[in-house]
Amino acid sequence: MLKIDNLAAQVEDKVILRGLNLDVKAGEVHAIMGPNGAGKSTLGHVLAGRAGYEVTGGSADFDGQSLFDLEPEERAQAGLFLAFQYPVEIPGVSNMEFLKASVDAVRASRGQEALSSMDFIKLAREKCQAVDLPQDFLKRGVNEGFSGGEKKRNELLQMMLLEPKLCILDETDSGLDIDALQVVANGVNALRSPDRAMIVVTHYQRLLDYIVPDYVHVLAKGKIVKSGGRELALELEKQGYGWIDEEVA
Amino acid sequence: MAVVSMQAQNAHQQLQAATDWNWLSNWRALGWERFSNTPWPTRKTEDWKYTPLRSLTNTDWQLAAPSGDAQGVDFDDWSRMTLTLVDGQLVDHDALPEGVSVRLLSKADAQTRGDFEQRLSRTLAGERQLFNVFNQAMLTEAVWIEIAPGTVLDKPLHLNQVISSAATERVIPVRVLVDVGDRAEATLVETFSNDASGAVFINPVTELQLAANARLRHYHLLLEEGDVRHLGSVHASLGGYANLDSFHMALGGTLKRKDLVVEHNGSGAELTLNGVYLPRGQEHIDYHTTLEHCVPHCTSSEVFRGIVADRAKAVFNGRIHIHKDAQKTLAELSNKNLLTSHQAEVDTKPELEIYADDVKCAHGATVAQRDDSALFYFLARGIRREEAEVMLNFAFINELLDGLADAPVRDLLQPLLRERFAQGAALEPLA
Amino acid sequence: MSENIDQYLKSEYAAGWTTDVESLTIPPGLNEDVIRLISAKKQEPEWMLEWRLQAFRAWLEMEEPNWAHVKYAKPDFQSLSYYSSPKSMEERPKSLDEVDPELLRTYEKLGIPVHEQEVLAGVAVDMVFDSVSVGTTFREKLKDAGVIFCSISEAIQEYPELVKKYLGSVVPQKDNFYAALNSAVFSDGSFVYIPKGVRCPMELSTYFRINEAKTGQFERTLLIADEGSHVSYLEGCTAPMRDENQLHAAVVELVALDDAEIKYSTVQNWYPGNEEGEGGIFNFVTKRGMAHNRSKISWTQVETGSAVTWKYPSCILKGDDSIGEFYSVALTSNYQQADTGTKMIHLGKNTRSTIIAKGISAKRSENAYRGLVRMNPGAEGARNYTQCDSLLIGDQCGAHTFPYIESKNPTAVIEHEATTSKVSDDQLFLCQQRGIDPEKAVSMIVNGFCKEVFKELPMEFAVEAGKLLEVSLEGAVG
Ligand SMILES: Nc1ncnc2c1ncn2[C@@H]1O[C@H](COP(=O)(O)OP(=O)(O)OP(=O)(O)O)[C@@H](O)[C@H]1O
Ligand SMILES: [Mg+2]
């Protein structure tokens, strides 16, 4: 589904990704771990097409199409979803309006009819419940004044509404209490399916107790330096990342 | 002196001839003297640097005669007390509760005349601003609303000013005086709208006087569309611990210029002054705000935002003046602007003039600052770029509307806003 | 403000003495004959005289501006003398060795390196005394690099083509009242030309000294950085203490051709007047740079002197991708008044400007920032950032901010912020309690406030500027 080959990228002349490879097939869940500043969020931003992130080499194919040929909104419409590490606050636009605009756009690109306002509101309320967000969050400005945990749940809510093919979750677990973690994990697990793939960026192995990955990768200094199964996450939790310097000189 | 004055002088003289009220006649004469002695503004006149008055000088303005009906703004099911003024004349008003009185200059008996004389002499006595003195020279009607000390109104007062279709090529001078007594609390909604499509020149002056501990929520909404010139001002004087929350909006019209002057005259007074302007087409909107901090321990917070489209022009001048003894003042002003076309223009000048040292004052102004991370968030959710930009523009303004304490006002304004930005975007209200 | 701060702050203007030299000063008055006389004294070619007369005729039609936030008695232009030169300079000395040692001592006393072997050997100096340039150091060394650094009078004689081409090209004769006056009567000033691709091997600087009473100084500086060149230039100014006001109306024009970079720094310490507000220099200056493609003009100013200052070093960002910067510290005390700031006119695409202005007002002074940022329709993708901060010391002074922001391009971004703060008794008490003496504490606070600007000054002068501020504050706070 997603094939990243030797990807290199930079921001404002600062090289961040240096030859990154990753192959994600439908139905798989990949976890990416790695020290702060390694480039995990950058990877997400580059894949989603954030302005200012310059791809300097390599390729990324999504369902056989080169991602870098697409505008950010086209990528989203094609089914790529990035749950932001730091969701953006947009005062003045209600969450509901935002969600509807987004769902309409994605549905239109799939040739689906727009949902009527009534149907949409019903759906949104349902999903709200699923992620344990009170319904008045739909009326508030997008992420405006939401707590850290609420923002993360709002990301999940959007993911559930858009039903993407590939979900990239950037530290969706950070800042969540145990109950919220459970909620997020349930949401993600509910979306797991043979034709959907997930990339879960996290610092904590505990999330992987709930969302069991097929593969675990370590991203450091702009590349994947180690890959393995679940057990790699446990190992990392014990050892930290000190060994990287020795191994990747 | 200006072309305006040629016809205006006739109108002024007619007015003078028609009154037997000596004081009023003298007062207008003083206004006329000041008006005609003020050099007509040019690009070199600091206060009018960015706002040319061409559109005033090419019409033969007559004084408005009392005329037919017009609807104005209707807040469907908001329980309120409405006073409707058509072309500057009070035509209708709801019953008033205890503690509220309304008096008219045109219907003043001997006693009331005396009161008006005192009231009108008290404020704006040394006034020189061109369109305040013009208002003084041309004054035909003043509506004086008094809210007695301690009165807490549970319904808002709606001053519904309408320009009728009979007002083409007319000048409409109006003065509104609102006195809120000690510990009284009220909400005042001033709306301006027009039925007419012809050229009109409305010249309203509102004077708000808040006694100590008074609280007023105030809306001053310029919703006229079409060939309207609206040149006027709002003056507010705040007593000790008074609280004024004043919201302004201007859209539409050939030329709109509003001078907002707030004086902190009693320690502990608080002001919130927010506003929105949205000129498009060839429209021109100019807000000049002045905060006079005359005494210590007062607070002001001011936020104005505008989006300028097409060939339109917006002007903003936000002055904060901290007088010598006004220690411990907190005053902040923010002005943000977006231009959405290559022919649009914005000129903004936030000013600080500070003569006291123990104060916290700040201002900020931005032009065309789009929030890139917000835009990316939209795109990442599959929303088209143009639509995202429209939604962000809407949000930029709506942020201020969302903060309004009275939902019916918000419900009146938001559709207007949506209509302005709607082209191609899903801005229908949800939930 | 409390007596508390006041008592720590008393000092004298250090540069307030006079040099005892015999001068030839033309009688007061201004008319075409005076202009002819100035031109003749400088043995100028006919075209230069014509240019002056043109400016003078325009000036006669103009009115003194009154929009600035300053109040002063308008100078009586007929009671000023427009040319004064030390007698020893009548026959122009051929080299520095022939210059009257008394004159050179003036500059030494001000701490300015007049001999090439001195410590600050990296700096070439042009010394302007009243209406004439006394001498310029390191001319030969600079010539080796192709750099021309001399007085404007010499440049008119020796490089007439360059002068004709650029004089008035950035600040036209009729630009404003004082620029027109300067164009008519300018006496001396510096001329700099940096050839293509040359990085000027040393700092260039000019020291202006007004010595004679009842004279005005009207210097004119023209600095041209040809394509891809690079120069850093500094000017300093002082004057004796006199109880009448003296007029200083300078014009500075900078031309940065494609890819060139000019850094222009000013340490202005004209006599500010006494504690009662008597005397001091009226400093009415027009400074402007024209920035061509990808070039950069950076103005840095530390303004502590003058009774009245009226000065807006500006950049016309004409070329695409050109950059304008303005870093300013303006300190006013006693009855000083300053109305200063900048104009950034964005014409080209992707032009960038940064404005950092720090105003410090003490005693009964008035300090205003006045700035203009204009985005013209062609300024696609242009950006400006402005930060204006005021520090008030005492409650008798005024601090003002008047930024004009004009945009006609939706892709241009302008951000402006302004704040005010004060040096409080509490801060001082805290410092005292920690063993720091209050005078030191005030200067620490003020220096911290100005840090962003000082770091833009050439290294040698940053320290000097800090000290100057300290000295000015000693006499200023309260
Ligand atoms: N817009 C930017 N400008 C400059 N540097 C940036 C920018 N965005 C990211 N960086 C830098 O790139 C590096 C990688 O950042 P990134 O956010 O991808 O790290 P990360 O692996 O997600 O870290 P964390 O675990 O802390 O979230 C960091 O050094 C960061 O400072
Ligand atoms: Mg990250």
Q: Where does the pLDDT of residue B425 fall: very low under 50, low under 70, confident under 90, or very high at 90 and above? A: very low
Residue B128 confidence (pLDDT) above 90:
no
Task: Name chain C contacts of B362, Cβ cutoff 8 Å.
Answer: 417-420
Among C369, C383, C416, C426, most B C-beta atoms within 10 A, so best to mutate, is C416
With CB atoms and an 8 Å threshold, state whether B379 touches A73: yes
Residue pLDDT, tens place only, C267-306: 888 888 888 888 888 999 999 999 999 999 999 999 988 8
Which of B380, B402, B426 is facing A92, going by the closest CB pair? Answer: B402
A21-25, A184-188, C56-60, C455-459: lowest mean pLDDT where? C455-459
Tell me what pLDDT residue B426 has. Answer: 46
Question: Closest Cα of chain B to A229: distance in Å?
Answer: 30
Tell me what pLDDT residue C118 has. Answer: 54
Q: Which residues contact A249 (CB under 8 A, 6 or more apart)?
A: none
Tell me what pLDDT residue C414 has. Answer: 97
| C-alpha A98 – ligand 2 centre gap (Å) | 24
Among C383, C400, C420, C446, most B C-beta atoms within 10 A, so best to mutate, is C420
Q: Please state the rounded mean pLDDT for residues B236-257.
A: 96
Which of A49, A52, A92 is facing B399, going by the closest CB pair? Answer: A92
**Which pairing describes strands A215-220 and A29-33: parallel, antiparallel, or unpaired?**
parallel
Q: Tell me, letter by letter, the H, E, C secondary structure of chain B.
A: CCHHHHHHHHHHHHHHHCCCCHHHHHHHHHHHHHHHHCCCCCCCCHHHCCCCCHHHHCCCCEECCCCCCCCCCCCCCCCCEEEEEECCEEEEECCCCCCEEEEEHHHCCHHHHHHHHHHHHHCCCCCCCHHHHHHHHHCCCEEEEEECCCCECCCCEEEEEEECHHHCCEEEEEEEEEEECCCCEEEEEEEEEECCCCCEEEEEEEEEEECCCCEEEEEEEECCCCCEEEEEEEEEEECCCCEEEEEEEECCCCEEEEEEEEEECCCCCEEEEEEEECCCCCCEEEEEEEEEECCCCCEEEEEEEEEECCCCEEEEEEEEEECCCCCCCEEEEEEEEEECCCCCEEEEEEEEEECCCCCEEEEEEEECCCCHHHHHHHHHCCCCHHHHHHHHHHHHHHHHHHCCCCHHHHHHHHHHHHHHHCCCCCCCCCC
Residue pLDDT, tens place only, B9-61: 888 888 888 889 999 999 999 999 999 898 889 888 999 999 999 888 877 88
Say if A49 is an interface residue toward chain B (CB within 8 Å). yes
Which tokens hold the place of C478? 């309260």
Tell me what pLDDT residue B157 has. Answer: 96
Residue A14 Cβ < 6 Å to ligand 1: yes
Question: What's chain C's average pLDDT?
Answer: 86
Better-predicted residue by pLDDT, B297 or B77: B297
Residue A13 Cβ < 6 Å to ligand 1: no
Residue pLDDT, tens place only, C82-98: 988 888 777 777 777 77
Using the atom order of ligand 1, give the atom closest to the CA of residue A52: 1
Question: Closest Cα of chain B to A37: distance in Å?
Answer: 19
Better-predicted residue by pLDDT, C471 or B372: B372
Tell me what pLDDT residue B108 has. Answer: 93
| C-alpha A53 – ligand 2 centre gap (Å) | 14
Question: What's chain B's average pLDDT?
Answer: 91
Say if A115 is an interface residue toward chain B (CB within 8 Å). no
With CB atoms and an 8 Å threshold, state whether C417 touches B363: yes
Ligand nearest to the CA of A40: 1
Task: Name chain B contacts of C390, Cβ cutoff 8 Å.
Answer: 352, 354
Q: Please state the rounded mean pLDDT for residues A151-172.
A: 93
Tell me what pLDDT residue A248 has. Answer: 56
Among C1, C407, C415, most B C-beta atoms within 10 A, so best to mutate, is C407
Tell me what pLDDT residue C431 has. Answer: 61
Give chain B's contact residues with A (Cβ, < 8 Å).
Answer: 371-374, 376-385, 387-388, 391-392, 394-399, 401-402, 425-431
With CB atoms and an 8 Å threshold, state whether B352 touches C420: yes
Q: Where does the pLDDT of residue B248 fall: very low under 50, low under 70, confident under 90, or very high at 90 and above? A: very high
Task: Name chain A contacts of B426, Cβ cutoff 8 Å.
Answer: 97, 100-101, 104
pTM: 0.88
Which tokens hold the place of B104? 């008219």
Q: Where does the pLDDT of residue C456 fall: very low under 50, low under 70, confident under 90, or very high at 90 and above? A: confident
Say if A136 is an interface residue toward chain B (CB within 8 Å). no
| C-alpha A237 – ligand 1 centre gap (Å) | 22
Tally Cβ neighbours within 10 Å of residue B101: 12
Better-predicted residue by pLDDT, A28 or A101: A28
Tell me what pLDDT residue A4 has. Answer: 96
With CB atoms and an 8 Å threshold, state whether B368 touches C67: no
With CB atoms and an 8 Å threshold, state whether B342 touches C395: no
Q: Please state the rounded mean pLDDT for residues B337-359.
A: 94
What is the percentage of chain B residues whose pLDDT exceeds 90? 71
Separation CA B362–CA C68 (nearest Å) = 22
With CB atoms and an 8 Å threshold, state whether A73 touches B431: no
Inter-residue contact C393 to C355 (CB < 8 Å): no
Residue pLDDT, tens place only, C295-348: 999 999 999 888 999 999 999 999 999 999 999 999 998 899 999 999 999 999
Q: Where does the pLDDT of residue C12 fall: very low under 50, low under 70, confident under 90, or very high at 90 and above? A: low
Tell me what pLDDT residue B68 has. Answer: 66
Ligand nearest to the CA of A33: 1
Go through A17-44 and write b for each residue having 16 or more CB atoms within 10 A of its CB, e for each that does not: bbebebebeeebbbbbbbbeebbbbbbb
Tell me what pLDDT residue B389 has. Answer: 87
With CB atoms and an 8 Å threshold, state whether C407 touches B339: yes
Ligand nearest to the CA of A85: 2
Question: Closest Cα of chain C to B326: distance in Å?
Answer: 10
Scanning C369-398 for CB atoms below 8 A from B yields: 375, 377, 390, 392-395, 397-398
Q: Which residue's CA lies nearest to atom 4 of ligand 1?
A: A11
Task: Name chain B contacts of C346, Cβ cutoff 8 Å.
Answer: none
With CB atoms and an 8 Å threshold, state whether C412 touches B344: no
Residue A12 Cβ < 6 Å to ligand 1: yes
Ligand nearest to the CA of A45: 1
Which of A16, A18, A32, A86 should be mutated for ligand 1, with most atoms under 8 A from CB?
A16
Residue B122 confidence (pLDDT) above 90:
no
Residue A39 Cβ < 6 Å to ligand 1: yes
Separation CA B205–CA B258 (nearest Å) = 9
Residue C2 confidence (pLDDT) above 50:
no
Closest B-chain CA to A109: B382
Say if A188 is an interface residue toward chain B (CB within 8 Å). no
Tell me what pLDDT residue C9 has. Answer: 40
Residue pLDDT, tens place only, C19-47: 887 888 888 999 999 999 999 988 999 99
Among A73, A99, A144, most B C-beta atoms within 10 A, so best to mutate, is A73
Which tokens hold the place of C334? 């006693």
